[in-house]
Amino acid sequence: MTTRIVILGGGTGGTIAANRLRRLLRAKEAEIVVVDQDDRHVYQPGLLFVPFGLADPEELCRSRRAQLHDGIELLDCGIDHVELDASSVRLSDGRDLAYDILVVASGAVLVPEETDGLTGAGWGDVVHTFYSLEGAAALATALERFRGGRLVVNVVDMPIKCPVAPLEFCFLADWYFREREIRDRVELTYVTPLDGAFTKPVASRALAGLLDEKGVRLVTEFNTGTVDGAGGRLVSYDDREIPFDLAVVVPIHGGAPFVGASPGLGDELGFVPVDERTLQSKVRPNVFAIGDAAGVPTSKAGSVTHFEGEVLVENIRRRLAGEPLDASFDGHANCFIETGFGKALLIDFNYDTEPLPGHFPAGVGLPLLRESRFNHLGKLMFQWIYWHSLLPGRAIPGLGSAMPEHGKRHVEAP
């Protein structure tokens, strides 16, 4: 009997894993099955641009099936739960799908219902999100109609996908209202539960500086308890209030619902605890997780997923061959941060090294932690790389899994 590898989720992580595994293992060695509930693969980094009319929602979507290499089966079906003891997946149509290796790649989902009032009065009217395709499109309309007032950008709680995106939203909003020549009538506020603009000290300082430069007020350690759309205010658990005319809220994230319904598989938030180096489940040796679905202490971001792919596939090969897992993920993340006016910042970091200034990937390259037109071009180019190089699981020249150390300048945090 051939080995069956079941991959739950056909997004960034699932597609990279499937394509890399298919190239590595011959058809008679392993059957590869991807399960997803729809055939719509969204280029999520593009969502940020939709509200400002800089990207068309339709153009961000492609068929999941079309991104998967020949010899990979895609089951268009929901997932009910995983039975770890039986090494089997119960699909939502009642079928059971047995596996030898399971890869959980089901990402993170938005759970706006977990925040009091968020989906109540004003949701979709004065309270929006750009973290879904539909939300981003609705926000584009709301921004177009916005003539001035208090615009509040709020992250309810961590972890979220792409933790820099809400900051980028602020930078782009500043640019957008300047272009429309109504910037003086708009009060921009960024409200975060963190104690700074970002978690890592050196980058946090640089990003707080940029917010200040662009006239965006920063409110920290604000833990949103209630979003009162009708009253136009955010209320924190410690009873602070932030009034708004338009709120852009990044809702709480959790793992896919089937993870919570699978005894032993996930943590209390629905993410799958795995060894942060090998990506193997802490409870079952034949279960792995990749991307946003994985509970590892680094950003939930496409770049992380991409870097994990190489390690995951090598460790699955080793598991199948009965060898010890020694491929090791270092927590590498690499993010372009759009800052408006055709410029962007680039940050590059891992579990142990915070984002530092310097150049990427070596002494000569893209400037790190500094605004530059080159980084903006890099961000635009990335959409092409995503569909044509990253998802097929091809190596991107100069961009290995491990974080490059050359070109980074170590500076003291304040």
User: Of the two residues 200 and 214, which places its CB atom closer to other proteins in the complex?
Assistant: 200
CB of 320 to other proteins, least distance (A): 29
Taking CA atoms, 411 is separated from 333, 356, 358, 362, 374, in Å, by 19, 7, 10, 17, 23
Contact region for other proteins (CB under 8 A) — 208-216, 265-273, 305-313, 397-405? 265-273
Output the smallest distance, CB 294 to other proteins, in A: 13
**Residues 22, 104: Cα–Cα separation, whole Å:** 17
Which of left, alpha, beta for 117 (phi over 0: left; psi -120 to 50: alpha)? Answer: left
Strands (E), 278-364: 287-289, 294-295, 333-340, 343-349, 358-361
Q: How far is the CB of 157 from other proteins (least distance, A)?
A: 6
> Minimum distance between the CB of residue 3 and other proteins, rounded to whole angstroms?
32
Q: What are the residue ranges of helices labelled H in 146-296?
A: 165-179, 201-213, 257-260
Q: Where are the alpha helices (DSSP H) in 214-288?
A: 257-260
384 near other proteins (CB under 8 A) = no
Q: Least distance to other proteins from the beta carbon of 102, Å?
A: 22
299 binds other proteins (CB under 8 A): yes
Q: To the nearest whole angstrom, how small is the minimum distance from the Cβ of residue 200 to other proteins?
A: 7
Compute the half-sphere exposure of residue 239: CA atoms within 13 Å on the CB side of its CA. 0
Q: Does 112 bind other proteins (CB under 8 A)?
A: no
Which lies closer to other proteins via its Cβ, residue 59 or residue 116?
116
Judged by CB under 8 A, the residue of 73, 157, 187, 275 near other proteins is 157
d(CA 147, CA 170): 17
| Interface stretch with other proteins, choices 37-45, 85-93, 294-302, 376-384 (CB under 8 A) | 294-302
Phi then psi for residue 386, to 5 deg, are -55, -55
**Residue (of 221, 252, 249, 47) closest to 154 by Cα position:** 249
> Of 93, 238, 352, 412, which one interacts with other proteins (CB under 8 A)?
238
Terminal CA-CA length for the chain:
59
* Distance set, CA 399 to CA 18, 106, 294, 389, 394 (Å): 20, 25, 22, 12, 11
Among 77, 158, 402, 411, binds other proteins (CB under 8 A): 158
**Minimum distance of other proteins from residue 160's CB (angstroms):** 8
The span of 16-24, 119-127, 153-161, 242-250 binding other proteins (CB under 8 A) equals: 153-161
Task: Find the binding residues for other proteins in span 159-218 (CB under 8 A).
Answer: 159, 163, 194, 199-200
- Give the side-chain half-sphere CA count within 13 A for 162: 21
Residues that bind other proteins (CB under 8 A): 157-159, 163, 194, 199-200, 221, 223, 225, 237-238, 252, 267-269, 297-299, 333
